[in-house]
Amino acid sequence: MAETAEIQKMAELASADIFSVFGWEHQPLMNQNWDCVEPQKHNRIKVKTHPTDVVFKYVDPYSGNDVYIQTDLKSYAKGTLESADLVKAIRELGRATECANKSPDWKKLYVDQTRNHDVLGMLFVYNHDGAYDKDFSDALAPMAPSNFDLSPTTFIGVVGPQRVIYLNSVAKDIKISHSDGQLPAKQQRRFFYPHLSRIMALHQESSVATLLTLLSPLIVMTYPMTTSSAFSRGCFAYYDGKGDSVDEFKYLFDYFFKYQRADENTAITINLLQPDKNAAATFEIAKTEFARDYWPVADTSQDQFKTALNGIRYREPQSVVAQFSQTTLGMKR
């Protein structure tokens, strides 16, 4: 793929405005073509190379491996996005990602080969005119997995237009909250990773929010309290639900108690960026019901439990539409 100034500008802004806040490193080389190692399998007989727009890097908190994100950046107006061949885009990215895990050329460009590493793929779809108002997951849902022709070991994450807005809003709110003194400096903030049933986190608190975390409903960040307060630890949680049911909030409360985030020393803030109009009231009802149902089986005193539960508050940050460029970013293939 020919290098374009538009792609470079978008990658720089995406890195600065979103992924750098979540601890991702932007690899210097961009817009590179590299030799395919399986041209028959990947249908690269005439065009013998794969393209890379940009690569991001972080350390996985569960495995400790370096993770490289082979990224395909796309920018569409609403009309173009509605007719875009997403199956082809995901298939081609999947082939490139599978190949990147094996390619000596790709590794020479991007990889610290003294360390264990994994390569994941990310399709980043930006709606540059801001007019796309559909649920992007509805466009992906009817697509048969067999159409993508992905190998079983290849992971592709799709960050659609709504997710771009959501992640941009989270990143902006973290920056604003730091400027307002609600959050400490980046070096003191950590993202939380619970031990799972089949895998233990090598680092339960990490400076990185992984690709899987950024695609999940809940992003949890912990930090030491830097102002005078009854609490010694803070926890900012970004939840992408609407908060239109009591059960949603009770699930979140259960998460914090189950993974020992909630205690009498911790102030927890649940942030909803796109809430139902009655979410704040629903939150208070959920706290009352959770206190009634949970405390009798909690391994703590009633006073400790009430203090911990009262330390959980609700907040509605402002959602921000990402505007990386005022011009149409050319990424047609």
Question: What pLDDT was estimated at residue 177?
Answer: 94
Looking up tokens 């050329």, which residue turns up? 105
Res 228: pLDDT? 60
DSSP-assigned beta bridge partners for residue 235: 222, 268
Closest C-alpha among 63, 261, 82 to residue 160: 82
- With a cut of 70, list the residues of the chain below it in pLDDT: 1-8, 10-12, 226-228, 295-299, 321-333
Quick check: 244 and 279 in contact, CB under 8 A? yes
User: By C-alpha distance, which of 184, 188, 194, 225 is closest to 207?
Assistant: 188
Nearest to 325 by CA among 30, 21, 13: 13
- Residue 172 token pair: 């902006």
CA-based angle 58:64:69, to the nearest 5? 30
Q: Please, is 79 exposed, middle or buried when counting C-beta atoms within 10 Å of its C-beta (0-12, 13-18, 19+)?
A: exposed
Strand partners, 233: 224, 266
Which tokens belong to 180? 């307002």
Please tell me the distance from the alpha carbon of residue 215 to that of residue 125, in angstroms, as a whole number. Answer: 14
The ranges assigned to domains in the chain are 5-166, 176-315
Q: DSSP H helical segments within the chain, as ranges?
A: 5-14, 78-82, 86-100, 104-110, 136-140, 161-179, 211-214, 246-258, 279-294, 302-310
CB-count exposure of residue 191 (10 Å: 0-12, 13-18, 19+): buried
Q: Strand, helix or coil at 52?
A: strand
- For position 267, what pLDDT does the model report? 92
Pair type for strands 190-192 and 205-206: antiparallel
Vertex 316 angle, CA 314 and 320, to 5°: 155
From the CA atom positions of the chain, what is the Rg in Å? 22
Residue 258 CB-density burial (10 A; 0-12 exposed, 13-18 middle, 19+ buried): exposed
| 85 token code pair | 């061949």
What's the CA gap between 217 and 271, in Å, rounded? Answer: 12
Tell me the whole-structure pTM to 2 decimals.
Answer: 0.90
What pLDDT, on a 0 to 100 scale, did the predictor assign at position 111? 96
pLDDT tens column, 50-65: 999 999 999 999 999 9
Dihedral angle computed from the Cα positions of residues 327, 328, 329 and 333, in that order, rounded to the nearest 10 degrees: -160
Amino acid at 72: D
Question: DSSP state, 55?
Answer: E
